[in-house]
Amino acid sequence: MNITGRIGLSLLALLLAACATQAPTQNPTPTVAVTATAAAEPTAHPMPAARPASFADNPIVYFIVTDRFRNGNRANDHSYGRLGDGQSEIGTFHGGDLAGITEKLREGYFRELGVNALWITAPYEQIHGWVVGGNKEFRHYAYHGYYPLDFTVLDRNMGTPEELREMVDTAHGQGIRVLFDVVMNHPGYADIATLSRYLPEVLWKGWQAHGLSDYHSWIDYNSFAFTGWWGPDWIRSGLPGYREGGRDDRTMQLAYLPDFRTEETKPVDLPPLLKKKPDTRAVPLPNTPVRGYLIKWLSDWVREYGIDGFRCDTAKHVELAAWRELKAASSEALAQWKAANPHKKIDDAPFWMTGEVWGHGVERSAYFDHGFDSLINFDFQDRPLEEPRQLNQLYSDYAARLREGGFDVLSYLSSHDTRLYRRDRMMAAATALLLAPGGVQIFYGDESGRQPGPASAGDPQQATRSDMNWATLDQALLAHFRKLGQFRARHRALARGSHRMLGEAPYTFGRIDERTGDRVVVALGADGTVSLPVGDLFREGERVRDAYSDASATVSAGRVRLDAAGAVVLLERAS
């Protein structure tokens, strides 16, 4: 989660808002240097029959901002009294929900892309109202799932428990895993709509008539009644009766959000807010500190619905030990769900976690020793992805680092926290991403040419979260993504294999996975009839197929001759 432009509701935030025009950025745009390393030249290998790659070997993750994807049930659009602003609708709920994802699953949309996991924004209950966004320019609701209110209850805008179960079961039936975005660093702000229901004593009389520009003036930030909110044992907030946020990554108030005291070992009771909330499923847990509650609440979604993994938000702002404990509890919960639902599970693979460690690139770090199977790769988006020599250097380096380090990353082109990749260069960029070593993440709409939406000067990332463009899909781009995605899904070698350059013009490379025997040869920039070197990756006389054009050819003198289509050739063994 990038928190650019968010305005907090602590006393400190109120004072700063009076003299600042823009809230600070979580981190500057990262520049992660990845030094090129020559990949070892493979020798001739035995050719065992390739077997399908497991998800952990070859993650192809489709990231959905659920509220902006598809509206499958209009009856839930205005839950908790949430309304549009009648203007730009930058930060309001737009109607997307779990039922909409299920519709596209049933249509086979994700299966055709080769996707094997859906990462969805956190679906548990968010703060009910809005806070001021950007430079006090728009109403910022929690449509993105990063302002939690109750971790134990599904947000009604997302749907019903039955709709969540149906979505998960439908995905599992297609071999597609479901990943929740989760946050353990902070709950949501104290918005007026939520306070009016659970803590009205901190609101000034007449708050019902408040406007956007004077939002903060209707909240009494000097009131000690705020201890009846989350409570000082649970959070740092700078409000009366609470500790201030610290100055380090673990204890700071990120964008003035209340900070969970996850480092504390002292047992706590339920937060006062949840004691007042009649529909919560939270119950007191004996001898349990703050992070123990959070871990129980999050792992219960796994135990009840069979959620396969988490994408962990703001990972560097939470203790490593907490992530390790979350992984252990969720792994146990998933094993229990699979034992109780053997007909619904995809396989017996363990629980999987990836994390957002802002600025992290392709290197092994302590996170991989504390529960993480993967981390978001902030390096890839800023790399040159069209020039073959530079792309070969990138591929060689990534492949060598991932094979030697025994870890994985999730590379992406666009994200909700940075920017959308240039739409006029998406064909080449999609090729580069879907052939990259390691795991990959497709941001919803990258495959369809979705254009940026409205934003504000104070929060430009909002433009990355526009509504999915179902009425204006770029069919040529979508077909390109589908061919590459399905090819990638079949070949563990692309994600985990050694990389070897075979030719310069057109740029041709091979990947081989020694563990499974899977191997591919790829050519980029091919035009017309081409003769491509395949080295020793395919045998003399072996029949191969171009998965892009569906043409077949026979290896002769270490080469394959065929007619290229779309400047891409994807060679695999012919079945």
Q: What are phi and psi of 429, to 5 degrees?
A: -65, -40
CB 266 within 8 A of CB 193: no
Task: For residue 140, give every residue at least 6 positions away whose Cβ sits within 8 Å of its Cβ, in sequence order, or none.
Answer: 6, 90, 91, 130, 131, 132, 133, 134, 459
Q: What are phi and psi of 424, to 5 degrees?
A: -80, 0
The tokens describing 283, both together, are: 């119950």
Residue 2: its pLDDT value, please? 59
Cβ atoms within 10 Å of 531's Cβ, excluding its own: 12
Residue 26: its pLDDT value, please? 37
Q: Running along the chain, 575 residues long, what does each successive block of 10 average in pLDDT?
A: 45 33 32 33 35 81 98 98 94 98 98 98 97 91 98 98 98 98 98 95 84 77 97 97 97 96 98 98 98 98 98 98 98 98 97 98 98 98 91 97 94 97 97 98 98 93 98 98 98 97 97 96 95 97 97 97 93 94
Residue 39: its pLDDT value, please? 31
Sign of the torsion formed by the C-alpha atoms of 376, 381, 386 and 391 = negative
> CA 12 → CA 3, 9, 200, 215, 233, distances in Å?
17, 8, 21, 15, 19
* Angstrom distance (rounded) from CA 337 to CA 493: 31
Domains of the chain: 495-573 (2.60.40.1180)
The tokens describing 557, both together, are: 């003198």
Helical ranges in 380-508 per DSSP H = 388-405, 426-434, 475-490, 492-496
CB 252 within 8 A of CB 246: yes
Q: Is the peptide bond before 388 cis (omega within 30 degrees of 0)?
A: no
Residue 386: its pLDDT value, please? 87
Burial annotation 219-237 (CB, 10 A radius, 16+ → b, else e) = bebebebbbbbbbbbbbbb
Residue type, 100: G
CB 257 within 8 A of CB 279: no
For 141, the enclosing helix (H) or strand (E) is: none
The question of whether 313 is a catalytic residue gets the answer yes
Q: What is the pTM of this model?
A: 0.92
Active site residue: 313, 459, 467, 572, which one? 313
Task: For residue 34, give every residue at least 6 positions away whose Cβ sits within 8 Å of its Cβ, in sequence order, or none.
Answer: 361, 362, 379, 394, 397, 398, 401
* Angstrom distance (rounded) from CA 317 to CA 357: 9
Q: What are phi and psi of 230, to 5 degrees?
A: -80, -30
Cβ atoms within 10 Å of 554's Cβ, excluding its own: 14
Q: Is 505 exposed, middle or buried (0-12, 13-18, 19+ CB in 10 A)?
A: exposed
Cβ atoms within 10 Å of 251's Cβ, excluding its own: 16
What length is written for the chain? 575
* Angstrom distance (rounded) from CA 270 to CA 268: 7
Task: For residue 191, give every residue at least 6 positions away whose Cβ sits within 8 Å of its Cβ, in sequence order, or none.
Answer: 9, 127, 128, 129, 130, 131, 147
Closest CA to 173 of 306, 54, 62: 306
Cβ atoms within 10 Å of 457's Cβ, excluding its own: 11
> CA 497 → CA 197, 251, 387, 401, 492, distances in Å?
55, 40, 22, 11, 7
Active site residue: 67, 155, 356, 417, which one? 356
Helix, coil or strand: residue 288: coil
The tokens describing 354, both together, are: 């990836």
The tokens describing 330, both together, are: 């969720």
Residue with tokens 């500790």: 243
The question of whether 356 is a catalytic residue gets the answer yes
CB 217 within 8 A of CB 17: no
CB 461 within 8 A of CB 511: no
Helix, coil or strand: residue 219: strand
Sign of the torsion formed by the C-alpha atoms of 358, 364, 365 and 366 = positive
* Angstrom distance (rounded) from CA 211 to CA 293: 36
> HSE of 449 in the Cβ direction (CA atoms, 13 Å)?
14
Q: Which residues, in sequence order, are bridge partners of residue 178? A: 118
Residue 51: its pLDDT value, please? 44
Helical ranges in 277-425 per DSSP H = 290-305, 320-340, 388-405
CB 552 within 8 A of CB 544: yes
